[in-house]
A = this chain, B = another copy of it.
Amino acid sequence: MGDSEILLKPLQPDLNLWFEERLEIGFGSVLRVLVKETLLLKKSPFQQIAVLDTAKFGRMLVLDGIINVTEFDEFAYHEMIVHVPMICHPCPRKVLVIGGGDGGAVREALKHPEVREVHLCEIDREVVEVSKEYLPEISAGLDDHRVTVHYADGAEFVKRHPGYFDVILVDSTDPVGPGAVLFREEFFRNLHAALSDEGIVTTQCESFFFHREVIGTVLASFGKVFPVTEYYYCMVPTYPSGVIGFAFGCKSSSGGKGPADKSRVAALGPLKYYSSGIHEAAFVLPRFAEAFRTPESDEPRS
């Protein structure tokens, strides 16, 4: 894995351990986190999996050297990848999560009283098992009777279920290695086919500070596939730049980001990040990022 391998070495005289995320090393910045204990370090058939107990961020799941989730801020990412599309859908009964083997997105989806089935399609069984053992608060929903876990390639799985899902959440890693296929137009076409008529999809889509090209490419592909395409974001301190965004596509041309139904938001119970106000604010991008979506109009916008 080269640059993305975990580096665990004593960097201070008292032998404290530091985890160093080298995701951005090509650009010249890295995040280092003080590690209290290395709880797990193993190789699955797909990737290197580590669970670190850290001084600041609690337990941290690290895949191929890249921070996947931390107990400190996972609520922000999971609430936002799930509740925004779920509340935009008139009645989300059948939900598919692709990737997301930690279970955090499943946990949030189950908070919607309309939900009858949540399917988790994770390629790496060991991520699910590790999460159940080391991250019980994140993976808690995986044993719910409404949940089915499929150990399969998400890109293939969606082809086998045309028209089935009301909401699909692509909780992917970055567009390198096995996750790269989840950023391609062919995959988005298969997502579209797997949605029911009013279906909505949300895919993890990087930081507008660091990944302009990826976002522009994904949104251009989304625009060819879905009649309604949007981009929204949330703040996650342990991800590069502290921001992560989502591409959002609706199968119905009358669907979209609209305001949140406050009674449905209240029915979700206590949350830490998402609210009806955040639902709308998350689609309001800084001006430089808004331009990614409409490269033809670089004029000042107000």
A-side residues, CB < 8 A to B, are 20, 24-25, 27-34, 54-57, 73, 75-76, 207, 209-210, 234-235, 237, 240-243, 260, 262, 265-266, 268-278, 280-281, 284-288, 290, 299-302
- By a CB distance below 8 angstroms, the chain B residues around A242 are 235, 237, 241-243
Question: Quick one: which of B260, B268, B275, B287 contacts A273, CB cutoff 8 A?
Answer: B287
Q: How far is the CA of A273 from the CA of B271 in the complex (A)?
A: 28
Closest CB-CB distance, A113 to chain B, in whole Å?
15
Indicate if the CB atoms of A300 and B266 lie closer than 8 Å: yes
Q: B272 and A287: CB pair below 8 A?
A: yes
Let me know if A209 and B31 touch, CB within 8 A.
Answer: no
Name the B residues within 8 Å of A280 (CB-CB). 281, 284
With CB as the reference atom, state the residue of chain B lying closest to A237: B241
Count copies of this chain in the complex: 2
Cβ–Cβ contact B29 & A32, under 8 A? yes
Contacts of A29 in B (CB 8 A): 31-34, 56-57
> Contact at B273–A277, with CB atoms within 8 Å?
no
Report the separation of the CA atoms of residues A166 and B277 in the bound assembly, to the nearest whole angstrom.
30
Contacting pair A302 B209 (CB below 8 A)? no
17 more contacts with CB within 8 A, not counting A28-B34, A29-B56, are A24-B56, A27-B34, A27-B55, A28-B54, A29-B31, A29-B34, A31-B31, A76-B286, A235-B235, A241-B242, A266-B300, A271-B300, A273-B286, A276-B302, A277-B284, A278-B284, A278-B287
Chain B residues, Cβ within 8 Å of A25? 34
CB distance from A174 to the nearest CB of B (A): 17
Q: Shortest distance in angstroms between A285's beta carbon and chain B's nearest beta carbon?
A: 8
With beta carbons under 8 angstroms apart, the residue of B243, B270, B271 that contacts A235 is B243
Closest Cβ neighbor of A241 among chain B residues: B237
Q: Which residues of B contact A287 (CB under 8 A)?
A: 271-275, 278
Contact B302 A265 (CB under 8 A): yes
16 contacts between A and B (CB under 8 A): A20-B32, A27-B56, A28-B55, A29-B31, A29-B57, A266-B300, A270-B300, A271-B287, A271-B300, A272-B286, A273-B287, A274-B287, A275-B284, A277-B284, A278-B284, A281-B281
| Cβ distance A99 to chain B, nearest Cβ, rounded Å | 23
Return chain B residues, CB-CB under 8 Å to A240: 237
Pick from B32, B55, B270, B274: contact of A32, CB below 8 A.
B32
Task: Write out the residue numbers on chain B whose beta carbons fall within 8 Å of the beta carbon of A32.
Answer: 20, 29-32
Assembly CA distance A33 to B28 (angstroms):
5
Nearest B residue (CB) for A27 = B56
The minimal Cβ–Cβ distance linking A225 to chain B, given in whole angstroms, is 26
Tell me which residues across on chain B come within 8 A of A54, comparing CB atoms: 28
Residue of B nearest to A30 (CB): B32
